[in-house]
Every structure is written in C-alpha cells, then in structure tokens.
Structure 1
Amino acid sequence: MIICVVFYNVAHRLPVIKYYNDLKTQAKNEQEENGVLTGALWRSALFNIVGRIKWYGFGILIIYVVTLSIFPGYITEDVHSQTLKDWYPILLLTSYNVFDLVGKSLTALYLLGNASVAIGSSFARLLFLPLFWGCLHGPEIFRTEVPVTLLTCLLGLTNGYLTSVLMILAPKTVQLLHAETAGIVMVLLLVVGLAIGSIVAWFWVI
C-alpha cells in the first residue's frame, strides 16, 4: 500500500500525466466560460455519458462475470492433477496472472481500434463457461492438465487485453471534460461484474 501511495504521487510528475491534466484544465476553463454546470445539467451530462459508453460498460461487466465465475474458485477447488498434486492450482494461478499481465501490456504494441469487435469479443468469452465445464465433466482427454492450462492462459490473456482496450476506448467516446467521469462509470461496472461473477462461481459447487 505504501508503494502504491508513493507511485500515485510520483505519477503526477510524469510528462504524459501533466499533458493530459493540462488538457483537462483547458477543457474545464472552456466549460466555465460557457456557464456554470448546474445540478440539472450535470445529471443530464451524466446520463449522456452513460448512454454513450453503455456497451463498453456491458463489455467490461461481462468480462469480469465470466472471469470471476471461473477464477480463482474453479481453478483452486475443482480441478486436480495426480502428477502435479498441490502444485497444480499454484501453477494455474500463476499462469493466469502472468498472461493477464501480458494481455494488459499488449495494448502498448497493438490497440484494437474497432469497438464492435472488442465488445463482441467480450461477450464471446461466455464460451469459456462450457469449455471449462467440459474440462470438469467432459471426456477424459479434456480433464487433463494441458487443456485446463491452455484455457486458463487464454482466460487471463483475453481478460487483460480486452479490459485495457475497453478502458482506453470508452473515455474517448465523450468530451475530454467528461472522460474521467466515463472512466469512473466503467470502473463501477467492472466492480459490479466482479460481484456478479463471485456469485455465479457458486454454481460450480451446485
């Protein structure tokens, strides 16, 4: 936590952060010149922001519903290996986190600019549910270490990449002054997805 606090304060000194803070200040000053944003106008602006980014938000929500319904509960409790024994869930957890980091970092190399594809890919991740179910109750070949590990890596990779893509694209759909609000709405929907996914995870037990 101390490291996070230090880095948070250091981040504001970075040139890229100063650049976007200056742009935000300029946009805010222009807004003030046009008139004070009253409560009614602010609510209207908020509804407009939500309307513009709703599909991005649904994409983020479904990403984390799928992810949390599988990880970490399914991986740590439901799959077993006679060869790896107690190391199996540890290796699966490590694989997921490594590929999640790789996915988040990939946007620095290639950013998917097509929002429809990104949102569609988020909903396509629902296929992970029957695939992981097959690894639990399907043919013997699907219940081995290799398919489960590959699916876990793919789960982490798509989670990291699509989360970053949607978080980058959503604020760009609104005015610069409202970009921060759009980001807050996206994070709120992400947290809702985490909560729903945690509840859905219990169905593996049922």
Structure 2
Amino acid sequence: MTSVDSSGVPSTPTRLEGKGKATLVCWFLGLGSLMAWNSIMTIADYYYALFPLYHPSRVLTLIYQPFAVGTMLILAYNEAKINTRIRNIFGYILFSLGTLGLLVLDLATGGKGGIGNYIGICVFVAAFGVADAHVQGGLVGDLSFMCPEFIQSMFAGLAASGALTSGLRLVTKAIFDKSDHGLRKGVVLFVAISTALEFLCIFLYAYVFGKLPIVKYYRAKAASEGSTTVSSDLAAAGILTTESKSAVDAKDERLSNKQLISQNADYALDLYLIYVLTLSIFPGFLYENTGSHHLGSWYSIVLIAVYNVWDLISRYIPLIERVKIVSRKGLVIACLSRFLLVPAFYFTAKYADQGWMIFLVSFLGLTNGYLTVCVLTAAPKGYKAPEQNALGNLMVVFLLGGIFSGVALDWLWLIGNGKF
C-alpha cells in the first residue's frame, strides 16, 4: 500500500497526474447520474400511448422528486458520518437495477397498459429518486474539494445524459417507426442501452476513479483536514491513513450546516431559482401544452432533444473565462430574469408556430446549463474539505428542492385547458 506523510497526504504527490482521465471519468459518472431519469422522460411518448389518461410526464416526475429531495435531506444532514464510497456505489447499483426492472416489466407484460403496470413503473421511478440523492449529492460533495474542472465535467455529463438519451430515442424511433409495434421495440432497445451504461458507471467509480493519482492526492488531503467520508475510498486505492491531531482539531473547528448556508445563501437561492423555472416548463408543458404541429408525433421528442442539446453545449461555455458570470449579484439577477420565460412560453404556445417554440426551448436549455455551472464553480472554495463536502451536499439539496417545486408548479399549466 502507498504510504502517507505525517499530515496524511501521499508523499511526493503529482497533483496533475491523471487529471485528464479523472475529468473524463467525472463526465461518465455525471452521465450515469441522470441516465435513468432522462430515459423515463425521453420515452414518455411511449407511456402516453400506454397510459393516455394518467399524465405520465407530470405524474412520474412528481413521484420521483419527493423521494429524491427527502433522501437528500437525510443524507445532507448526516453527510459527515456517511461512507461516500458505499453511498455512490449503492446509488449506481440502484440506478442499474431500476432500469433493468423497467426492461423486465415491459417484456413480462408484453407492453400492455393498465393501472398495475403503471404502479410498477412508479415504483422504479421512486427508486431512481433515492438513487439520485445518493449519487448526485455524494459526487458533488466529493468533487467540491477537488478541481473545479471536475464539477464542470460532472455537470456536463448530467446534461449529456439528456442529449444522449434524446439522440438514441430519435434513432430508435426512426429505425422502428414503420414496423409492427415499432414504438415499443425502439423503447426496449433504448432502455437496454441505458441499463448497460449504468452498469459501466459502477465499474468506473469502484475500480477506476479512486485509483487515479490526482484523486488520491485530494482525498488524502481531505482526510488530513478532518474528513472521514473518504476513508473507504482511500483504503480501496491502497492508502492507509491515521487520524492526526490536526485532523481531530479540524473536525472540532468545522462550520455547521447552518453557518455554511448563511454564508452561501445567494448561491443556494440561485440553484433553486434555476431549477424551479426549468422544471415548471420541462418536460410536462412540452408534452401536453404545445398543441399539434407539422412534426406530429415527433414534435415533443424534438423539443426534448433540442433542450437537452443546448443544455449540454451551454455547460462548456463557462470554460471561457471572459463570458463566465462570477459576480454574486450578477448571478442572482440572471437567475431571476429567466422568469420572463413563463409568459413567453404561454403566448408562444397559444399564438406562435413550432419554430418559435423550438427557439424558446433552446434558450431554456442554454440558460439552464450555463447558469448551473457558473453557480457551482463560483461558489466559495476557501473552506476545508469537510466543509466543502457539506456545502456541496447542501447545494444539491437546494437544486433538488427547486426541481421539486418546479414539478409541482408545472401542474398549473393544466388549469382551464380541460385536461384535469
């Protein structure tokens, strides 16, 4: 096993060794964090065919979020005591079993509708919410005391999961569109690919990421600053650490969650505002409130794909320092100004054609990804590792809280249109 110095940091660290590989792995881990959920959203056209009266995109999203937020609150409160390695691996295993379960359920029932099958899908969606809280909070907390590039890459991977699922969905729909039961065949192939990618993430986190030199360096440094959440990851990477007096003192001096939120309330508010607006429109409004257009059954799929592609592209824009918003006041103003999209979407759906709707959806995705990365990479980095981990978890709490609130507000679009 690799030895460590008196502070717990690996001797003669080469901090940049493996940075490129670690950044790439973070991208795949982000991809797997939302692959399962984006799969559900992308095949919603199939679920609307099976369950036309049950509002699948809205109901499934509403089921997913309470489990994600509730689990995340529990994990954030206890984050200092939780084994990060077990937390993340458990989350990816749950994602893998959930997507596999969706595939088995569809094959076993022959793709039939009915309330029983719908409840089964809801159970798997609830499991995705629990898995999301484990993985997303665990990864953001873990990466918060490492390179900002790792956070950016992970969130680019999150967006890539949407773009990839949309691309795969368009391909599978095109391949099977004219065949018998073509919609179902495309969905089965699509979910099978998603399941394989989730299993890949288990391998990458368990056997690759933690053994990269730069990751070992940051985790050992975190342990020397009083972090106990990285112990299992360090042991798996071949590093033995002993708790020093400085580590004990660091734990005693750590800021509380209340203090961290007080010092970073604007960043937490930014994330909440970004996602409450986005999820009040995406995906329910795009599936049920945009009317019928020339694209026919392709319309909602194209809108989802357009959003996901621009969400992905925009997460790389902050890498250009000249166009990145770093001002705390500027970020709050930018997040609040996005609420002008609510009347814009209302009047576009009512009076404009599909071209204007595609433009608005593009702008929604562009601002969502760009502002998310700006906030998370601009958030203070001057804390010690245990505090950075706690702050990362708290940021995810507000992010998921925004999603949950947006999902609930999304139902307001149904008022007065006769769809209740």
The alignment's TM-score, normalised by the length of structure 1, stands at 0.86
1:32 to 2:247 alignment: yes
Name stretches of at least 5 consecutive residues in structure 1 with no aligned partner.
none
2:357 alignment partner, one of 148, 162, 172 = 148
Contact 2:293 2:299 in 1 (8 A): no
Amino acid at match of 1:161: Y
2:311 alignment partner, one of 79, 100, 108 = 100
Per-residue CA distance 1:66-95 (angstroms, 9 max, x = gap): 011000011111113431111111111000
**Greater C-alpha radius of gyration:** 2
Amino acid at match of 1:14: L
In 2: Cα distance, 1:189 partner to 1:105 partner: 22
Alignment partner of 1:12: what SS? helix
Alignment partner of 2:319: what SS? coil
Specify which structure has the higher proportion of helix. Answer: 1
Moved more, 53-62 or 165-174: 165-174
Q: Let me know the Cα RMSD of the aligned residues.
A: 2.2
Amino acid at match of 2:363: L
Which residue of 2 is the match for residue 69 of structure 1? 280
In 1: Cα distance, 2:245 partner to 2:334 partner: 38
1:113 to 2:326 alignment: yes
Alignment partner of 2:211: what SS? coil
Amino acid at match of 1:8: Y
**Distance apart, 1:201 and its partner CA:** 0.2
1:48 to 2:259 alignment: yes
Per-residue CA distance 1:10-48 (angstroms, 9 max, x = gap): 2223344334324323322575353652xxx76x62211
Alignment partner of 2:308: what SS? helix
Which residue of 1 is the match for residue 378 of structure 2? 169
Contact 1:81 1:145 in 2 (8 A): no
Which residue of 1 is the match for residue 200 of structure 2? 3
Per-residue CA distance 1:166-191 (angstroms, 9 max, x = gap): 12222526444311100100101111
Contact 2:274 2:335 in 1 (8 A): yes
The alignment's TM-score, normalised by the length of structure 2, stands at 0.44
Contact 1:171 1:182 in 2 (8 A): no
Q: Relative to structure 1, is the Cα distance of residues 16 and 159 closer, same or farther in structure 2, using a 3 angstrom cutoff? A: farther
In 2: Cα distance, 1:134 partner to 1:30 partner: 63
Q: Percent identity?
A: 29
Amino acid at match of 2:221: L
Moved more, 184-193 or 108-117: 108-117
Which residue of 2 is the match for residue 88 of structure 1? 299
In 2: Cα distance, 1:6 partner to 1:61 partner: 32
